[in-house]
A and B are shown apart, each in its own frame.
Chain A
């Protein structure tokens, strides 16, 4: 037996909750430069996945980069590097956006929040150092770029997350999806946003590394909350149809092909003035050679990243994320396929170990989102 995953020999960082994870029986694996929990003892990925959909799970996402830009015109300057509107973002509001190359390739996807005195950014763990270099290169010297290396980031996700967190940190339940604010937990400052990457209602909580363990203990002391690892996080985000940087998004992929047109705000599409605008405008006008689609597979055999997609004998695309959906009990995948094959209901085939698996183009999310947008 051998695992397909190859573990690179590299200097690995330690997350603030490293000891906490190990005490909870986590199996740690190298990811994004850190040793991170893939799953915890006693459950397994499917159990952690299902618990997140039914109750609430605590994910450690401290590997992600927590940055800020500040100074006069910080919003306007950042806006030159992303297709989303930043200057018009109200205080406490957040937006999903992208760092792009001039050619329209995705350097990273990120969350941008108007945090009042500064613009807060949350970027991917594996790309954070490149993002920092890119931002520093293109932002004027008078804009301050701060990397909060001493902050941990915890994601509490699931339908019971709001009840649990509001009991511990009163007022957090008043946030709606994509809103953020500062809170106080027994004198400890927290920055809480109602967001996440599982498709469920939930929160991301930024807390100083010194207090992260106490907060993780307080959250998991509630029987509705269990820790969950990277394995469940990946299957949840796949069911939610959310792209994963490095897999479904790369510098070779532009946001229009990726189906992230919503991240190119209408006004800014027309006005331009942001890196990658011209390349994206051409794609918007002329269409894309290939586009990201969801595929539903028959049977039980999952198709993984890299699997070729066929229409008859013609190679028409490639899987970029694939796995077994615990919620749907069947395999699902995301793929880039030629524009002629992207229509919902198109019958395609995915090749896995010399076998052709029937697959149908399916709308995403595969499992409906349950974000809390207010009652």
Chain B
């Protein structure tokens, strides 16, 4: 299952025509203690590069952008009660939402894991 990364520190796992989105370990570390996650609603359409969710840390609110466009098919409603999951397991249990993939061409320009690691090293 390929995993891609954005330069805004979102990750996306692609399985068939479904894609799961979350924020990276680096992102959660930068944000600090997360106290609230605002997720899209199932059935919403998200657009690549546009705001799709919001994370509130103790410090500030930060937007999470959709790495690709599509219709939201599922959200991680566990985060409503346990926003701290994004801190403890950002790249697994702390996933945000799933979308159906409408345009595979949009994967172009996203980074693979090695490229993202290199991107982080140069920040």
* Residues in A lying within 8 Å of B, measured CB to CB: 1-5, 38-39, 44-47, 49, 231, 234-235, 300-302, 304, 323-324, 326, 331, 353
B115 within 8 A of partner (CB): no
CB-CB under 8 A from B61, the residues of chain A are 4, 302, 304
Instruction: Tell me whether B32 and A1 are in contact (CB under 8 A).
Output: no
Instruction: Tell me whether B62 and A3 are in contact (CB under 8 A).
Output: yes
Instruction: Tell me whether A2 and B59 are in contact (CB under 8 A).
Output: no
B36 within 8 A of partner (CB): yes
Q: A1-B8, A2-B8 are in contact. Are A324 and B36 (CB under 8 A)?
A: yes
Q: A329's closest neighbor in chain B, by CB? A: B35
> What are 16 A-B contacts with C-beta separation under 8 Å?
A1-B27, A1-B31, A3-B30, A3-B60, A3-B62, A4-B62, A5-B59, A45-B57, A46-B58, A231-B59, A235-B58, A300-B35, A301-B56, A302-B35, A304-B61, A326-B58
Ordered nearest first, which 7 A-B pairs have the shortest CB separation?
A324-B35, A46-B33, A45-B58, A300-B36, A1-B9, A1-B8, A301-B36
Q: How far is B32's CA from A331's CA once the two chains are assembled, in angstroms? A: 16
Q: A232's closest neighbor in chain B, by CB? A: B58
B90 CB to closest chain A CB, in angstroms? Answer: 11
* Residues in B lying within 8 Å of A, measured CB to CB: 8-10, 23, 27, 30-33, 35-36, 38, 54-65, 83, 87
A307 CB to closest chain B CB, in angstroms? Answer: 10
Q: How many A-B residue pairs have CB under 8 A?
A: 68
Pick the most buried of A1, A231, A234: most chain B CB atoms within 10 A of its CB. A1
Instruction: Tell me whether A231 and B62 are in contact (CB under 8 A).
Output: no
Q: How far is B32's CA from A2's CA once the two chains are assembled, in angstroms? A: 14
Instruction: Tell me whether B35 and A4 are in contact (CB under 8 A).
Output: no
CB-CB under 8 A from A331, the residues of chain B are 35
CB-CB under 8 A from B30, the residues of chain A are 3
Residue in A3, A323, A353 whose beta carbon sits within 8 Å of that of B58 in the complex: A323
B65 CB to closest chain A CB, in angstroms? Answer: 7
Instruction: Tell me whether A1 and B64 are in contact (CB under 8 A).
Output: yes
Residue in A1, A46, A323 whose beta carbon sits within 8 Å of that of B23 in the complex: A1
Residue in A3, A45, A353 whose beta carbon sits within 8 Å of that of B33 in the complex: A45
CB-CB under 8 A from B38, the residues of chain A are 301, 353
Instruction: Tell me whether B62 and A324 are in contact (CB under 8 A).
Output: no
Residue in B35, B62, B83 whose beta carbon sits within 8 Å of that of A1 in the complex: B62
Q: B6's closest neighbor in chain A, by CB? A: A1
CB-CB under 8 A from A235, the residues of chain B are 58
Q: How far is B31's CA from A46's CA once the two chains are assembled, in angstroms? A: 12
B39 CB to closest chain A CB, in angstroms? Answer: 12
A27 CB to closest chain B CB, in angstroms? Answer: 8
Q: How far is B64's CA from A158's CA once the two chains are assembled, in angstroms? A: 36
Residue in A1, A49, A234, A324 whose beta carbon sits within 8 Å of that of B56 in the complex: A324
Instruction: Tell me whether A1 and B58 are in contact (CB under 8 A).
Output: no
Q: A231's closest neighbor in chain B, by CB? A: B59
Instruction: Tell me whether A4 and B8 are in contact (CB under 8 A).
Output: no
A57 CB to closest chain B CB, in angstroms? Answer: 15
Q: How far is B83's CA from A231's CA once the two chains are assembled, in angstroms? A: 19
Q: B83's closest neighbor in chain A, by CB? A: A300
Q: How far is B32's CA from A47's CA once the two chains are assembled, in angstroms? A: 10
Q: How far is B54's CA from A45's CA once the two chains are assembled, in angstroms? A: 19
Instruction: Tell me whether A2 and B63 are in contact (CB under 8 A).
Output: yes
Q: How far is B36's CA from A301's CA once the two chains are assembled, in angstroms? A: 6
Instruction: Tell me whether A1 and B60 are in contact (CB under 8 A).
Output: no
Q: A235's closest neighbor in chain B, by CB? A: B58
CB-CB under 8 A from B83, the residues of chain A are 300
CB-CB under 8 A from B60, the residues of chain A are 3-5, 304
Q: How far is B58's CA from A47's CA once the two chains are assembled, in angstroms? A: 11
Q: How far is B85's CA from A248's CA once the two chains are assembled, in angstroms? A: 33
Q: B23's closest neighbor in chain A, by CB? A: A1
CB-CB under 8 A from B10, the residues of chain A are 1
Q: How far is B61's CA from A234's CA once the two chains are assembled, in angstroms? A: 15
Q: How far is B33's CA from A226's CA once the two chains are assembled, in angstroms? A: 18
CB-CB under 8 A from B58, the residues of chain A are 45-46, 49, 231, 235, 323-324, 326
B16 CB to closest chain A CB, in angstroms? Answer: 26
